[in-house]
Structure 1
Amino acid sequence: MAPLHYFSDILLLLIVFLFSGAVFLHRQRKGTPINFPLLGMTPEILLNIHRIHEFATDFLKLSNDTFLFKGPWFSGIDMLFTSDPENIHHILSKNFSNYPKGPDFRTIFDILGDGIFNSDHELWEFHRKTTMASVLKHPDFHTLLETSIRNKIEKGLLPVLECYHQEMDLQDVFQRFMFDAICVLLLDYDPESLSVHLPIVPCEKAFTDAEEALLLRHYLPVKVWKLQRRFGLGKEKKLSEAWKAFDEFIYECLSRKQKEPKDEESSTGLLTSLISGFSGQTVTSCDSTKFLRDTILNLMIAGGDTTSTSLSWFFYLLAQNPSVENKIRKEIETKTGGGKWKSLTTKQLEGLVYLHGGICESLRLYPPVGLEHKSPLEPDILPTGHAVDKETRIILSFYSMGRMKGLWGDDCMEFKPERWFSKGGNGNGKWSGIKHEPSYKFPAFHAGPRACLGKEMGMIQMKMVAIAIICNYHVELVKGHLVCPSDSIIMHMKYGLKVRLVPITTIKQYG
């Protein structure tokens, strides 16, 4: 009998041969992915893991918005990619009950515990109901939101911009801003990661590491990434470190809150409301503190990390389209009667139509969550005619949807805020308000029963931050800096957003 290492060498040679062949063929042709014996289309993924969202978009365009990705033999990671709006509508709305998060999703996103992103059925309903009552419908919510954002702009954002405006990573600034803001809102604690010294706060930096590892889990067999986790290898090591950072930060905040003296002021915040709303829950077996940790971590991702990412892409597009920046600045000045942007209330923000259109256009091209993972409970036929069963992993590519000419026209790759304006009813060609697009065509805030609860909150935060910068600075990209999506479940920029900020006073002074 041949020694075991003989078969190992043969297998290794086969893998190298197939991978090399994939490289060669990849360079020779443009078409649908090659389905290799044993390895499936995995070599294609490995060649394109650095541009996974563009990779999916390329093949979706060639496959009428839906294609089947074949994983390695017996790996159980065959995936049906789709950006077809009818499929999206069917899965997220029409046949919602047949597409829960499910055990596979919970396995991949185990770091989120029993939070709302991982939950189904009774637990999910409990989360939405309690989050609405404890946070979004809290009598002081809008006041707390507006106050916390204004304070962070005045004491954090503007001082940092003043210090570093000649060249800075604006993505890092936004991530720090939103991390501090969501901590103030949910945990009644300001970690002050956005200050002129730009301190390192492990929990703030942990989000990026965790989200990159979670995307990679979608494309690796479960046994592979679990083995990496066991031995502390690759991105799994960073995910474990991120998990520890989240736990230490959130549990410390909860402990600090419990030790505070009970007075009238401390008993009216959102954290107190969350603790009260989730106390005594019986929908999970975990203890109340662990359940609260899961809830808060999920809300921090939903209300902080996605918003910072959206701001980064908005200013990236704005820097490439200075005429849009000027129109927004002029709109703000017109609405406020000059430079009184600080006096804008959340109600007045609704009247800034061009700013709203610009943010929506940015979200269309760069949705903060680029993909969603689904599997059916029971066999189903999608509107495109594709048959799926409980073994089928479906990847909804929201990123690709904004790049489809069939949905948005031949100019779909252009940044046009006017795309979101509706024309006046008298035929005069003038704009009159915001044009509504169905969520299954524009899923930046998800769609169906799981549509984002914090959509209004996110838009308010983005508008307030955008106004503070646009009214004070003109944004320029640093020449030669590469901007592209990272390999993450959140649409971060892989190399940050290096910009120079030119004070508006300088432009007005020197013309």
Structure 2
Amino acid sequence: MAFSLLPPELVISTLVLASFYVYTKLWNPEYTMDWPVLGMLPPVVAGLHSFQDNLTVALAASACNIKARGPLGSGMRFFVTSDPSNVRHIFTSNHANYPKGEDMADIFDIIRGTLFTVDGEPCRQQRAMNHSILNNPRLLAFRARLCRDKVVNGLLPFLARMASSRNPFDMRELLTRLVFDLTATPTFGVDPGYLSMPTTTSCSMMHMPSMHVCTAMDTVMDDVGLLRHALPPSLWKAMRHLDVGPERKLAVAHKQLHGFLRETAAKRKPGSRCDDEVEAAVDILFADPVYGGGGFPLYNILILFMFAGRDTVGTALPWLFYSLAKNPRVVSAIRKELAPPIDSSSNTMVFFEPEETKGLVYLEAAILETLRLYPPGPLERKTVLADDVLLSGHRLCSGETILVSIYAMGRMEALWGEDCHEYKPERWLSRSNDGAANKLRYVPSHKFMAFNSGPRLCLGKDIALEQMKTVVAAVVWNFDVELLQGQIIEPKLSCTLQMKNRLMVTANKTN
């Protein structure tokens, strides 16, 4: 067979592995992130199956800082860090020198011009706009009612049916459906109904609507993570121009997302509300003369709202229930803190209002501990605008790319102690001044980056925490969730730390 007819993936893999063998055997027997000619490509490709953990080990062995390059001629220069002092300098003290950069807008072209990709004054304008939308009183009330409805009439009844049938189910998919509805409905004012299931059919999720839009969103994040961050821009842009390889799959995903956007927005035309109590982000964006006429990429902003909600809460919740299932003592502590003044012998399932969970510090500590070990966004990318010297002593040159490993920061012994790999909510707690009760311990954002840091601190942090508390409290109080044995639970290689495989569990009604 001619060499040119071999699959490109096989050719690349063969060359990389051959180079890996020659280099380790003849050139340098020690592991390094910066190879001759090929730069950081061989160690990255060789360790793709556990990229985040391998990067954590490399950073721990290098005092939390690594310099690396892309293949010769690519012009790619990287500084990778998990050092909190450097993070504070990059994200807060000298943040103007470390923008997202034009490369970020190219990589995430489907949300180009949004808060996720812009810098400077456009960033400040969009933060003000998004803050106004997220804190709109009617939209907040809508979110609260929706969350209650989805948990009470969707999530809990499904779990009850699964407990009754004793059939295992995929908790990751169930939570993905829930969070997609919780995200898309306030954005468009139209419920996609991903958690809906006909009551006359089997209780299996097979009878729920297809999740083709979620699959398209996964494709955007997976292929961006696999290609656009790692390859020279000229290479993936050529693939996009030729419509070949993963770029073809990505183009299809873009069409599906824009199609969903148009169809859903059409169902709820701006200014024609069928329910005066409902206000959606699409109404605010298109009806407001400042936003609607201000040159903002409104459809891109709506897509960003979908990603921001689904890929934070939707990524964190499966890891949270996975962690709880492995730590029954934490579940017991959460139940003890909940302890509602009700008749626990009643068969009626219990729902906790947001006001009831607001002061539950152990529940919040359990969520924060999950985000420490499994941050939804494991890497943060920045560009160096002008030459600078970091507090670690490293010199950075204009044009270099900075990668902050949030995943590694959460697993550094120097930051969190010898038990840094353990799931331990107690690390977030301290006693109040009078010693009567626990309170949350303050941890600076440059050490705990799950909600970003500095001027780009996450605007939806409170909404995300409230939703997670609401869901976890309802499920933990009403059900015992147990993992099926023999599963391999590990992160997917993506821009978000989603689970690679299903999370198969069984549910049993609590006594």
TM-score (ref. length: structure 2): 0.89
The one of 398, 423, 428 aligned to 1:420: 428
TM-fit CA distance, 1:62 = 0.6
191-200 vs 157-166, greater mean Cα deviation: 157-166
Q: Which residue of 2 aligns with 1:9?
A: none
Amino acid at match of 1:306: T
Question: Alignment length, in residue pairs?
Answer: 488
2:158 counterpart (157, 160, 166): 160
Cα drift, residue 325 of structure 1: 0.9
Q: Partner residue of 1:207?
A: 217
Aligned partners of 1:382 and 1:388 also within 8 Å: yes
Tell me whether 1:274 sits opposite 2:272 in the alignment. no
Please report how far the alpha carbon of residue 354 of structure 1 lies from its aligned counterpart in structure 2 after TM superposition: 1.3
Distance in 2 (CA, whole Å) between partners of 1:322 and 1:27 is: 47
Provide closer, same or farther for how the CA distance between residues 153 and 27 of structure 1 changes in structure 2, counting only shifts above 3 A: farther
Matched residue, 1:184: 185
Corresponding residue for residue 202 of structure 2: none
Change (3 A) 1:70 1:341: same
Paired amino acid for 1:93: T
Residue deviations 1:117-156 (CA, integer Å, cap 9, x gap): 01112221121111122x2221223321210101111232
- When residues 26 and 459 of structure 1 are mapped into structure 2, their CA distance, relative to the original with a 3 A threshold, is farther
Distance, in Å, in 2 between the alignment partners of 1:15 and 1:341 is 53
State how far apart, in whole Å, the 2-side matches of 1:49 and 1:114 are. Answer: 31
Residue 370 (str. 1) matches residue 370 (str. 2)? no
Once structures 1 and 2 are overlaid, which stretch shifts more, 448-457 or 378-387?
378-387
Q: How does 1:281-300 map to 2 (within 5 A)?
A: 284=295, 291-300=297-306
Work out which of the residue numbers 244, 248, 251 in structure 1 matches 2:255: 244
Q: Shift of residue 184 of structure 1?
A: 1.2
Which secondary structure does the structure 1 equivalent of 2:288 belong to? helix
1:173 aligned partner: 174
Q: Larger deviation: 450-459 or 193-202?
A: 193-202
What letter matches 2:109 in structure 1? D
Q: Which amino acid aligns with 1:251?
A: R
CA contact (8 A) 1:319 1:476 kept: yes
The one-character-per-residue Cα deviations of 1:150-181 (angstroms, maximum 9, x if unpaired) are 11112321233234453111111111111111
User: 264-273 or 106-115: which moved more?
Assistant: 264-273
Retained in 1: the 8 A contact 2:139–2:278?
no
Letter in 1 for 2:91: L
Indicate conservation of the 8 Å contact 2:413/2:419, yes or no. Answer: yes
Contact residue 270 and residue 283 of structure 2 kept, 8 A: no
Judge conservation of contact 1:278–1:292 (CA < 8 Å) in 2.
no
Counterpart for residue 149 of structure 1 = 147
Between 433-442 and 323-332, the greater mean CA deviation after superposition: 323-332
| Mapped contact 1:477–1:500 kept (Cα < 8 A) | yes
Q: Structure 1 residue 443: deviation in Å? A: 0.7
The answer to whether residue 98 in structure 2 is matched with residue 87 in structure 1 is no
Q: Tell me, yes or no, if the aligned pair for 1:131 and 1:274 is still in contact at 8 Å.
A: no
466 and 74 in structure 1: CA distance in 2 versus 1, 3 angstrom threshold: same
Task: Report the 3-state secondary structure (helix = DSSP H, G, I; strand = E; otherwise coil) of the residue aligned with 1:117.
Answer: coil
Q: C-alpha separation between the residues in 1 aligned to 2:23 and 2:208?
A: 47
Displacement of 1:404 in angstroms is 0.3
SS in 2 for 1:499: strand
Report the TM-score, using the length of structure 1 for normalisation.
Answer: 0.89
Percent of aligned pairs sharing the same letter? 33
- For 1:281-430, list aligned pairs within 5 A: 284=295, 291-334=297-340, 338=344, 342=350, 344-426=352-434
Q: Point out the more displaced range, 296-305 or 90-99.
A: 296-305
Distance verdict in 2 for CA 1:207–1:140, change over 3 Å = same
**Displacement after TM superposition at 1:280 (Å):** 5.6
Q: Provide Cα deviations, 1:312-352, integer angstroms capped at 9, x if missing partner.
A: 11111111101111211222125767578745332221221
Query: 1:98–1:376: 8 Å Cα contact kept in structure 2?
Result: yes
Q: Given the superposition, is the C-alpha separation of residues 15 and 159 from structure 1 closer, same or farther in structure 2, using an over 3 Å criterion?
A: closer
Q: Which residue of the partner structure matches residue 37 of structure 2?
A: 38
Whether the aligned pair in 1 keeps the contact of 2:104 and 2:117 (CA below 8 Å) is: yes
RMSD (CA atoms):
2.7
> Whole-Å Cα distance in 2 between the matches of residues 232 and 13 of structure 1?
20
1:211 shift after superposition:
0.6
Deviation string, structure 1 residues 239-284 (Cα, Å, up to 9, x no partner):
2122111101112222222277456717844431222336566664
The 8 Å contact of residues 39 and 73 in structure 1, kept in 2 or not, is answered as yes
2:138 and 2:277 in contact (8 A); partners too: no
Cα deviations across residues 14-39 of structure 1 (Å, max 9, x unaligned)? Answer: 99566324147669999542643321
**What amino acid is aligned across from residue 356 of structure 1 in structure 2?**
E
* Distance verdict in 2 for CA 1:195–1:43, change over 3 Å: same
1:462 to 433, 458, 468: 468
- Residues 27 and 469 of structure 1: is their aligned pair in 2 closer, same or farther, counting only changes over 3 Å? farther
Question: Which ranges of structure 1 fall in alignment gaps of 5 or more residues?
Answer: 7-11
- Which range moved further: 217-226 or 478-487? 217-226
SS in 1 for 2:192: coil
Which whole-Å CA distance do the structure 2 matches of 1:270 and 1:407 have between them?
39
Report if the CA contact (8 A) 1:138-1:270 is conserved. no
